[in-house]
Amino acid sequence: MNSRPLPPGTIFAGYRIERVLGVGGMGTVYVAAHPRLPRRDAVKVLSAEFGADPEFRARFGREAELAARLDHPNIIGVYDRGIEHGQLWIAMRFIDGPDAATLLRERALTPHRVAHLVTGVARGLDHAHRAGMLHRDVKPANILVESIPGQPDRVAVTDFGIAKAAAATTLTQAGTILATVAYAAPEQLTGGAIDHRADVYALGCTLYELLTGAKPFPRTSVDAVIAAHLHDPPPRPSAMAGELPRRIDDVIARALAKDPQRRYASCGELAADAARALGVAADQVPVVGPRPARRRNTGIALGVVAAAIAVIVTSVVVLKHDSTEQSTAGSTSTPSADPNSWAAHQWVVDAFAGLLPKTQADSGYQGLRCSAVDGSQRPIDARQTRESLNSLACNGDQNPVFRLVIVCGTDEPADEFVSTAGSVLVGEENWQRPSGSGHARWNDKEGVAGPTGEILLEFEGSTRDKCVIGVSGGTSGQDLYDRWWRDAPV
């Protein structure tokens, strides 16, 4: 069968081919116009020999269906798949940008950019692992990068489903292993049991290459590369690039441990350790892991303590240093003639425009309906301010937010929310958006109706640094992060 690239204008599986996006060992990727929707997709047409193998076709169909269920910003979404003129194809979300291998060929990447790329990839991979899906072919060529003016690069992993289907068959290509040998874990090469830590190993190999420009085990033959993965000690990035700190050597050594038990337990742990080892500032690259305690104007540092905030479907409680009841402070604004105005709380609504409802009669982001409350979450008149705090409690549409509470100090910053007792930290990051910056952490916990999640937010700069937000909802902390926090207008 003719395997030459399809020329522009060709109609393939209903798509109109616009141009070749890339050519790899498994096939050709095109930018193609969707047959019915006003959008462009990336359509990968696999080489003819894959379509001719019945076992591969069956596995490809099953894995593509599983991959289509992976809904995450750092994973290229799968839209459709099929077979046309004997060739398997898969339609995916189109990212208008190069892959990381192309970036590396064009220029050396800074440690900051490498940390950002690896962090994004790690998030996507960990999401897939939680869904029971492995990639099995993590490498720079499968990391797509889109530059967005004024924002960090958008990073996404591609070829989920294709790699796994290929690795699960006995099909070979020119007598070699289908998994890219340069990044394959020892257990992949020996036919051993494989779990998510094979992807951790491949991400470690990818990290090494992004930092040094070289593959971790460059050898003169495939057999020699395989032998190096199985027997040679992990390479030291600092020996290849003298400007790199030696601490990154330890990160690579752990990621590339021969024994999966000695590797990082997740890709997120690897990315976090890499960022710290590279000395990338916490406010520049989102990482998962410990952070310094936030300091208040009073000079008292608040960290994770035994006391907890109860963030459940029905309530969110803010813990204060001074637990005694304080008298009601005077209103910070004059009474308003409009009963639906936010009155004393208007400055809070203005600071989070887009998130909170414009008036008490309106709804905010994802249907939030809010009311002014005191420190015990009891409704109060919006013209009142209690305990030098402005507090709003909001009910969400339960898809995914159940409850959101925002607390802002009128004079000093509100104390940060403390994680619910018994909750499990899933991740945390220092974030930066056009609206400002701050810190977020998200937890898994048990709610009254079963497993759920919580996100606790802090802010830096302008008047927002006096505010904290607690959110509960979703089926887990990561689910709430993915479906609310990533796109929330905060």
pLDDT at position 198: 94
- Asked if residues 470 and 420 have their Cβ atoms less than 8 Å apart, the reply is no
Q: Of 425, 404, 419, which Cα lies nearest the Cα of 485?
A: 404
- Burial class of residue 283 (count of CB atoms within 10 Å of its CB; 0-12, 13-18, 19+): middle
Q: What is 85-102 written as a DSSP string?
A: TTEEEEEEE--SS-BHHH
pLDDT at position 446: 80
Q: 230: Cβ–Cβ under 8 A, 6 or more apart, which residues?
A: 186, 189, 190, 258
How many angstroms separate the CA atoms of 238 and 40, rounded? Answer: 42
Q: Is residue 137 flagged as an active site residue?
A: yes
How many angstroms separate the CA atoms of 309 and 320, rounded? Answer: 10
* Eight-class DSSP state of 342: -
Token pair of 420 as six digits? 């619910």
Angle, in degrees to the nearest 10, between helices 247-255 and 197-212: 140
pTM over 0.75: no
- Asked if residues 221 and 167 have their Cβ atoms less than 8 Å apart, the reply is no
How many angstroms separate the CA atoms of 294 and 119, rounded? Answer: 23
pLDDT at position 226: 92
pLDDT at position 448: 55
What domains does the chain contain, in order, with CATH numbers? 11-93 (3.30.200.20), 100-277 (1.10.510.10), 304-485 (no CATH)
Alpha carbon of residue 470 to chain centroid: 20
Q: Of 346, 355, 350, which Cα lies nearest the Cα of 490?
A: 355
Amino acid at 133: M
pLDDT at position 321: 32
Amino acid at 106: E
* Eight-class DSSP state of 25: S
pLDDT at position 150: 66
- Asked if residues 43 and 32 have their Cβ atoms less than 8 Å apart, the reply is yes
How many angstroms separate the CA atoms of 454 and 444, rounded? Answer: 7
pLDDT at position 200: 97
Angle, in degrees to the nearest 10, between helices 111-130 and 267-277: 170
Q: Which of 99, 126, 137, 482 is labelled catalytic?
A: 137
Q: What is 131-181 written as a DSSP string?
A: TT---S---GGGEEEE--TTSPPEEEE--TTHHHHHHTS---BTTB-SS-G
Token pair of 458 as six digits? 């802090």
Length of the chain equals 490
Q: Tens digit of pLDDT per residue, the chain (490 long)?
A: 446 788 999 999 999 999 988 776 677 889 999 988 888 898 988 877 776 777 777 767 766 777 777 778 898 888 888 888 888 888 888 888 889 998 898 888 899 999 999 999 999 999 988 888 888 889 999 999 987 666 778 899 987 755 554 444 433 333 334 458 999 999 989 888 889 999 999 999 999 999 999 999 998 888 899 999 999 999 999 988 878 999 999 999 999 999 999 999 999 999 999 999 998 854 344 433 333 333 333 222 222 222 222 222 223 333 333 333 333 333 333 444 577 789 999 999 999 999 999 998 888 999 898 888 887 667 788 888 888 899 998 888 888 998 899 999 988 899 888 888 888 999 999 998 888 899 999 999 886 567 889 999 999 877 799 999 999 999 999 999 999 999 999 9
How many angstroms separate the CA atoms of 25 and 325, rounded? Answer: 69
